Structure 1
Amino acid sequence: MSGREGGKKKLLKQPKKQAKEMDEEDKAFEQKQKAEQKKLEELKAKAAGKGSLATGGIKKSGKK
């Protein structure tokens, strides 16, 4: 019983993934995603300055 035989056998080299060709639709979609991400970041920055928005919930008292 040698220790090298047990367990999963690893492949020495993984096949490389093919570089995906991007057409015009993919480029437009990617730009749209980046624009939406920028808007979200700006909104997060604005909201962080105002404080928490979810403070109007039910408050529990210490009584049982």
Structure 2
Amino acid sequence: MRTYILTVFEKTGKKLLDESFQAANDEEAKKIGDARLTKEGFNEHTFRCVSPEAKLILFHR
């Protein structure tokens, strides 16, 4: 399993969510990250999800 980091920001730059989670690969991480964003209602906020190599998996500005 690999560790991914999901971060959500307000327009002011304040972090609303900053957490790590485990996924087998980038595709699974996209699904997990998207589900977490939907659950918390953060789909329209600025967010990013990065892989262990710092590759952007999900991004919204």
TM over 0.5: no
Higher strand share: 2
Structure number with the bigger relative contact order (C-alpha 8 A, sep ≥ 6) is: 2
Higher helix share: 1
The normalised TM-score by structure 2 is: 0.29
- The higher radius of gyration belongs to 1
The normalised TM-score by structure 1 is: 0.28
